[in-house]
Amino acid sequence: MEQIFAILLSLHRGTSDNSDWVIGCLAGAWPKLLGDRLAAVCRPAAFRKPELVIELTDKTWEEAVTSIKPELLEKLRVVTSGLIQSISVRTTPQG
């Protein structure tokens, strides 16, 4: 996955705003990166270089996601070839 992301990123690196593209790529890989259970309650919501905003749909998962932030950030750094350098979590209930 890292190689594919790196190749695709090289095509968009020169563009002024590739945030939608980054979110789209991450959304497609989200279940593989987080696992199905966690991916079902959160999603990549915004990217403002170098920060990825993760949106939770269930506040009860906030502690679980916060506890794995270091590991998740490392995965995201590897997958995005260092493009993502920080993550923040926000809760936006569905409905």
56 to 1, 2, 8, 14, 91: CA distances (angstroms): 24, 25, 27, 31, 5
Mean pLDDT of the chain: 85
**Tokens of residue 12, six digits:** 């968009």
Q: What pTM value is reported for the model? A: 0.81
Q: Taking 80 as the threshold, does the pLDDT of residue 93 lie above it?
A: no
Confirm or reject CATH 3.30.300 for domain 2-91, answering yes or no.
yes
Domain ranges of the chain: 2-91
Q: Taking 70 as the threshold, does the pLDDT of residue 79 lie above it?
A: yes
Q: Could you give the 3-state DSSP secondary structure of residue 81?
A: coil
Average pLDDT on 60-89 reads: 92
> For residue 47, what pLDDT is reported?
94
Average pLDDT on 29-47 reads: 93
> For residue 53, what pLDDT is reported?
97
Separation of CA 68 from chain center: 13
